[in-house]
Amino acid sequence: MTHPLYTLSDILAATGGASGLDPATPINSISIDSRELGPDALFVAIKGDRFDGHDFVDTALANGASAALVGRGEGEGRIVVSDALAGLRDLARAARTRSRAFVVGVTGSVGKTTTKEAIRVVFEAAGATHASIRSFNNHWGVPLMLARLPQQAQFGVFEMGMSAPDEIRPLAQLVRPHVAVITTIAPAHLEAFGSLDGIARAKAEIFAGLEPGGTALLNADHAQLGVLLDEANAAGITNIVTYGEARGADWRIVDVETAADRSFATIEHQGVRHALVLSVPGRHMVANATAALAVAHRAGVEPDVALRALAGFGAQPGRGERRLLGPSDRPLLLIDESYNANTASMTAALDVFAAQTAPGGRKMLILGDMLELGPQSGSLHASLMPAVIASGAERVYLVGPAMAALAEALGAAGVAAHARTAAEMGDIVLNDLAYGDAVMVKGSNGVGLADIVDRIRKQFEDN
């Protein structure tokens, strides 16, 4: 017999809510979007920056939700609590308390979503797995993902993000991971922290939720490793494991080879050598996969199972996904890196693009602003010049006001066009692109380069 995710009685007990609904009512999905309701759905009416879920309660119930968790209002189908978001956190806490899953939390300036996905792929090869979707990693995304954790799951992996201090700590205390992964430290949200050391200390807040006897898994290939080690020791963590290319890393990456669409590496751990093969290019992808291999070891998943799973692991939309569009004899290659950008991820993506050949035309770059870099924004954008030149791109398009610094560094001859917005750039690019070209789109999500990616796909995959 299949057990529901919750019964209404479970939800009332977890949240302290009141409702006139049948306590035996099954709840098998949870949503904060009235347009995306699963079976036997609970709609949670949280208040966001742009919308208040309470305005959509009637719509959710009309669309088939079994119940709505609300902080105000009366009417049929409602579970009334003092605050809907707090109620969602209560439900997440209850889900974690009843779970016997091996739980992993992932944070970092770069690569956290891809690393989370690599861990998910490995866990799914070993047992029933629940993982965060997309980048649901903030103050509402983490409790939503955790509240969806099925009681029978054997593994769970959750991503945690931040844009200011003291944001990761409460998320980690909800998730209570057995392994806390910090991928790397880079200039992301730099304006809120002032320094890379400040970013490192904020990422280390994940240690506050680590289960007793848990493991801190740290990328060793950045200058803030010492800060993270100090924070882990201060938190009383005795199991600290490192991974990366750095000499002395517990999971050491050696003999890395990357091709246009593949990566190969040897991973050394406790005298044993593992052959890692990935169907995606890039040293950064090797690092993400190595983190997943180390997590698998801590979770008791056999290395061969993990390595086979990782061999089929692919890049995600907005994070290096590659598409061949149009005729097979002369396609357009689109590399979608439109979701996120800072100097570390930009440099890694440009390094991968340097090894890429165009199917039969030109190599082209569309680069958007790296946001939230504070006073150092100009110099950090200009610092991309060598990597852009080394990428071999024949046409470089820049989007956003901060990219003016890179445009100046490259000079007029090195920039095909510079526009302040993605909307302005879309027409310019589409009038220049042709089948046979290879184009990489990379920038912070807020720049809106995903719209250009969508337009390229529509124009070239349908013709």
* pLDDT digits 0-9 by tens, 16-48: 999 999 999 999 999 999 999 999 999 999 998
Does pLDDT of 1 surpass 60? no
Q: How far is Cα 211 from Cα 297, in angstroms, rounded to an integer?
A: 17
Residues 86-114 have a mean pLDDT of 96
AA letter at 21? L
| Among candidate residues 238, 245, 323, the one with its CA nearest the CA of residue 286 | 245
Q: Which residues contact 280 (CB under 8 A, 6 or more apart)?
A: 261, 262, 263, 313, 314, 315, 320
Does pLDDT of 68 surpass 90? yes
Largest Cα separation within the chain, whole Å, is 70
Q: How many CB atoms lie within 10 A of CB 237?
A: 18
Q: How far is CA 135 from CA 122, 156, 158, 184, 339, in A?
A: 19, 15, 10, 17, 10
Residues 410-423 have a mean pLDDT of 96
Contact 29, 42 (CB under 8 A): yes
| Among candidate residues 70, 65, 67, the one with its CA nearest the CA of residue 55 | 70
> Tell me, what's the pLDDT at 462?
61
> Band of the pLDDT at 208, cuts 50, 70, 90?
very high
Lowest mean pLDDT among 40-54, 263-277, 311-325, 356-370: 311-325
| Tens of pLDDT, residues 246-270 | 999 999 999 999 887 889 999 999 9
Q: How far is Cα 388 from Cα 100, in angstroms, rounded to an integer?
A: 48
Contact 406, 414 (CB under 8 A): no
Provide the CATH topology of domain 6-83: 3.40.1390
- Return the domain boundaries, the chain: 6-83, 99-311, 321-461
| Among candidate residues 428, 429, 427, 431, the one with its CA nearest the CA of residue 441 | 429
> Tell me, what's the pLDDT at 461?
85
Lowest mean pLDDT among 196-200, 231-235, 311-315, 336-340: 311-315
pTM for this one? 0.85
Q: Where are the alpha helices (DSSP H) in 240-327?
A: 283-299, 303-311
Q: How far is Cα 55 from Cα 351, in angstroms, rounded to an integer?
A: 47
Q: Three-class SS of residue 386? A: helix
> Tell me, what's the pLDDT at 315?
77
Q: How many CB atoms lie within 10 A of CB 455?
A: 16
| Residue scoring higher pLDDT (260 or 148) | 148
Q: What is the DSSP letter of 403?
A: G
Relative to beta strand 332-337, strand 438-442 is: parallel
Q: Read out DSSP for 310-326?
A: HHT--PBTTBBEEEEES
Q: How far is Cα 364 from Cα 360, in angstroms, rounded to an integer?
A: 12
| Residue scoring higher pLDDT (6 or 110) | 6
Q: Is the CATH number 3.40.50.300 carried by domain 99-311?
A: no
Provide the CATH topology of domain 321-461: Protein-Tyrosine Phosphatase; Chain A (3.90.190)
